[in-house]
Structure 1
């Protein structure tokens, strides 16, 4: 009984098997003519149905790879090998089932992400209570920001939230690929999709379900599953030459032997399955393996493109650096004191998305300085923010931008790896806030790996001023630096980079245009930069630049496996066809051998699920330069 669903799922296979068994019975009982007519009629219907599908493919601009199978079926019928013709039909109809099986195996980790999507949330009716049974279960998409939720042991966190319980332990392997549980303290962010540990915790929702990390990942996975572009391109690339070679070999065998049966015996060994099934399976396996490693790629086309990357461009802040600048000095001037300067700047920076703004706000909160609301505020992307606070106009940003509002602005002297936010109030220069953002410890190793693995050109594209950009670039091993860039300038430089393809790695809203413009855009998405993630082709779910190396390694391995599977299938088919030209392989035996070739190529394609992992050299950050530097926010 358990096989009945399979019979209904693949009716073409079921009918073909029944016809095949019936023809064999008729052949054995001495009524071979009846069996021949039944086989001929069934195969003719199948050929007509296949031709209709081929015409549709051609109208869509794709070469019909089933032409070889159609010619082989017609040829075997013409020479009386009707059993071989039914075996070919069984091969083609069974291809769907084989593709489903291999596809499910290849994308098991992608499917696991979708299957684990949270559906129910436990909302605390009275958030101030500690009673775990005072809850209301609601669909996860009905959770509102600021709702307090109870997450029981071993449950999936339904939405992104802030931990209210003193401590909590969470398994984030489905999000980041890291197997070790992580411990969060009260006030720390807990991401949806993480699995709670052994004790119940309370969290306060900071995002709705649609905006939470896990739902963003699910959306990316759906997008990845819907893409099959490289498979079509690979199939088209090999289809016409392989078809031509197969027909030439079959025709030559007929011409040399003078036997029309030889044409059919050769052609039944021409298998399109390495192109139709093996290549798609390899790409699905690569996407699945990448997802398990914490790297979401938006389709197989991305895998093929990233495998061929020859140039790499990096943003600085939050990409090559840790992206969490800390305030190290407050330098007021013109009669302002340190707390007043910091309070005004932090109040204005409430309306900025720049990474330095977060560090300034955090420093003000740590010093107990309340932030004031602005009557009006606007941000000039990559330059700074202007806000009217308590009737005073506060400008925070780059030195050139602040100088346009306060001509008496004086550039600060900074140490290496320091950045500065300049502040003016009512047209007077008020001082400088100095922050430090150090390079990521893995950045130097990543750059070194890329340089040693066929990435010929590595550059930094940043909006920061030259000296700070050059300092960070020197520490991580990048020699080509383009600094003080606006977003359109980043896009232009990325478009002009050679050799192609070009990979751009960045984070934050300001990087979205250049990520979209590059051949391959990679977003450091661990901190929830939604705009950058939407624009990028690859989203890294772990706050580690080392995942860029994983992405390239998986892409290259996947493309290598897909091409090798194709060549294995083509090589075996051509070799067997050459042998069949001598007449030693009967048509029925050839059709069965073809099935083994198909199986071999598909099993090889599943190697994309595994493979060598990239090994970075020991973490290296070059020594800091000595001397004074200037920078900006």
Structure 2
């Protein structure tokens, strides 16, 4: 069955083999003329098909190298080298088939995500379990997940306990234990026992489906360097035709023209770059790095500046409460309760820590009748009939002119609160740097990315503290999204890599030469705007992406030039009549194979690259923490 599928998929290759066998049998039977007619007619028919395709490519504005192959096929038929013409046809169609087959194998890590994409769910309808399309699952539905099925949507575990394989989501190789009430991400693979979960998100909003969408886009893209390989076609074609024409002119033998051109067929140019870049995507995926397209590798490989967001990128993104400072006339618990009640409607990471701190102190959240989050500034809400504004100093000052800046230690940050138009107090928190952040900055500098900057919406004191801890000399604080875009656009040392994780980072990630999203916390607007998405919660993967990008681009160009150099050497030898057309065609097959093998190196780990991700265990709750 597998052989039959391959035969049908690569029909031109299969038919060429059949025609070649028929011609060989006829020749052995003494029917030379019949063999020549059948073989020649078939070769010319294939050449006609490639000519039609070449014309379509030209109309679409793309210059390819099919012309050389077409001329080689026609020339060998005209000079009576039918065997050579069939070998050229086999080489051209076989080269395309090998490219397709190599691409399929090289992107198996990407395809693994797509093939596991759940299509249906087992939903409880009373005491009965019914199978429904995944798109029909609604928030609150009770679902059954059998072993070893994939969790179809983001959900909450209802069963007492369970173990899940989350390697396709986080890179964690060990099963993660879950208890009732814990979050279970879609894409997690259930263990040995059937469990019940309650849907907390629609399919389109779930983690795994967002990742699948990113992977599908990555696997269907075409890289800039591939177009560059296409542009090699013009000088290579001109050189080949001139060399073949010169050989014919000097020798006076038209066969010499065909002997040179069979060695000038363009498979190395067509194969090298696509195989290398798909291999690079595969290699990156094994490290928890999704690269949207091959062009991104070029940006990573030549990057000269790296810019980082702070919260959740260089810091853990899980701030902890350090102190509650109420203003005169306000109790600490009252201030915290009002702040947490308003912050429950914010998507900012600081909001979650305030809500958690209130819960730890046993403070009940107050009823909220109206709430509005103002991106990058804060939240204003009506809590129990009182207007509460929470956020940055300048935002809160617009509600309470008497607000006072508060002193705090290095590495801490202040959340200001206004209540009914008066200064209510300050919440002091700390968001420590990630353990792997210093090593990442140092490694990027070792890779030649000397300009590293920090852009954050936080206060200047906080930005200065984190920048100082990490050895970053350039930073800009209290940035709005537009400020970040303006700063990145003004950088002259390009290409620029921008790394962020929040919704407010989406504009600057989209505007940077290479946007990198810390996507382990969920496929947010940042992930959708980025060129690279890190599926593991480790900023060190930014440096890994640069290393993989450099090696992938290097291998792509090495493979292109390897194929060109080998073809040119053989063509020069053929001008002296030392390589018969049939032998030349066979030698070109060897060049094609060498090019593919050279390009496939990009799918393997190279010197200086980190091994596939084996992070310390962390739970899905951590991965989805705001």
User: Is the TM-score greater than 0.5?
Assistant: yes
Q: Name the residue aligned to 2:140.
A: 146
Residues 1:56 and 1:96: Cα distance change in structure 2 (over 3 Å) = same
Q: Partners in 1 of 2:458 and 2:78 — Cα distance?
A: 74
Deviation at 1:582, TM superposition (A): 1.9
2:228 corresponds to 1:239 = no
**Aligned equivalent of 1:437, options 415, 420, 431:** 431
Q: Is contact 1:456-1:499 (8 Å) kept?
A: no
**Aligned equivalent of 1:189, options 183, 189, 193:** 183
Q: Is contact 1:508-1:531 (8 Å) kept?
A: yes
SS in 2 for 1:307: helix
Q: Name the residue aligned to 2:573.
A: 579
**Aligned equivalent of 2:515, options 521, 529, 535:** 521
Q: Partners in 2 of 1:327 and 1:312 — Cα distance?
A: 30
Instruction: Give matches, 1:360-371, under 5 Å.
Output: 360-371=354-365
2:322 corresponds to 1:328 = yes
2:181 corresponds to 1:225 = no
Deviation at 1:486, TM superposition (A): 0.8
Return 426-435 or 603-612, whichever deviates more. 603-612
SS in 2 for 1:210: helix
Deviation at 1:51, TM superposition (A): 1.1
Residues 1:466 and 1:227: Cα distance change in structure 2 (over 3 Å) = same
2:242 corresponds to 1:251 = no
Q: Name the residue aligned to 1:601.
A: 595
Q: Name the residue aligned to 2:74.
A: 74
Q: Is contact 1:234-1:275 (8 Å) kept?
A: no
Q: Name the residue aligned to 1:620.
A: none
Q: Name the residue aligned to 2:56.
A: 56
Q: Is contact 2:300-2:514 (8 Å) kept?
A: yes
2:295 corresponds to 1:301 = yes
Deviation at 1:166, TM superposition (A): 4.7
Residues 1:615 and 1:98: Cα distance change in structure 2 (over 3 Å) = closer
Q: Partners in 1 of 2:18 and 2:193 — Cα distance?
A: 57
Deviation at 1:543, TM superposition (A): 1.1
1:439-471 deviation line (CA, Å, top 9, x unaligned): 000001111111110213111111111111011
Q: Partners in 1 of 2:230 and 2:96 — Cα distance?
A: 19
SS in 2 for 1:605: helix
Q: Partners in 2 of 1:4 and 1:533 — Cα distance?
A: 40
Deviation at 1:216, TM superposition (A): 0.5
Residues 1:159 and 1:63: Cα distance change in structure 2 (over 3 Å) = same
Q: Partners in 2 of 1:4 and 1:403 — Cα distance?
A: 73
Deviation at 1:272, TM superposition (A): 1.4
SS in 1 for 2:232: helix
Return 554-563 or 16-25, whichever deviates more. 16-25
In structure 2, runs of 5+ residues without a counterpart are 611-626
Q: How many residues align?
A: 611
**Aligned equivalent of 1:485, options 479, 484, 499:** 479
Instruction: Give matches, 1:19-98, under 5 Å.
Output: 19-98=19-98
Q: Is contact 2:165-2:173 (8 Å) kept?
A: yes
Q: Name the residue aligned to 2:114.
A: 114
Q: Name the residue aligned to 1:530.
A: 524
Q: Is contact 2:548-2:609 (8 Å) kept?
A: no
Return 50-59 or 287-296, whichever deviates more. 287-296
Instruction: Give matches, 1:408-419, under 5 Å.
Output: 408-419=402-413
Q: Is contact 1:311-1:498 (8 Å) kept?
A: no
**Aligned equivalent of 1:382, options 376, 382, 385:** 376
Deviation at 1:122, TM superposition (A): 3.3
SS in 2 for 1:375: strand
1:365-391 deviation line (CA, Å, top 9, x unaligned): 222222223222222221111112222
Q: Name the residue aligned to 2:616.
A: none
Q: Name the residue aligned to 1:627.
A: none
Residues 1:152 and 1:2: Cα distance change in structure 2 (over 3 Å) = closer
Q: Name the residue aligned to 2:582.
A: 588
SS in 2 for 1:408: coil
SS in 1 for 2:205: coil
Instruction: Give matches, 1:128-143, under 5 Å.
Output: 135-143=129-137
Q: Partners in 1 of 2:387 and 2:2 — Cα distance?
A: 75
SS in 1 for 2:365: coil
Q: Is contact 1:346-1:371 (8 Å) kept?
A: yes
Cα RMSD (Å): 2.0
Q: Partners in 2 of 1:360 and 1:420 — Cα distance?
A: 12
Q: Is contact 1:55-1:64 (8 Å) kept?
A: no
Q: Is contact 2:313-2:501 (8 Å) kept?
A: yes
2:9 corresponds to 1:9 = yes
Q: Partners in 1 of 2:360 and 2:178 — Cα distance?
A: 19
Q: Partners in 1 of 2:357 and 2:123 — Cα distance?
A: 33
Return 255-264 or 276-285, whichever deviates more. 255-264
Q: Name the residue aligned to 1:420.
A: 414
SS in 1 for 2:346: coil
Deviation at 1:437, TM superposition (A): 0.5
Deviation at 1:124, TM superposition (A): 4.3
TM-score by length of 2: 0.93
Q: Partners in 2 of 1:456 and 1:227 — Cα distance?
A: 30
Q: Partners in 2 of 1:458 and 1:249 — Cα distance?
A: 50
Deviation at 1:22, TM superposition (A): 2.4
Q: Name the residue aligned to 1:468.
A: 462
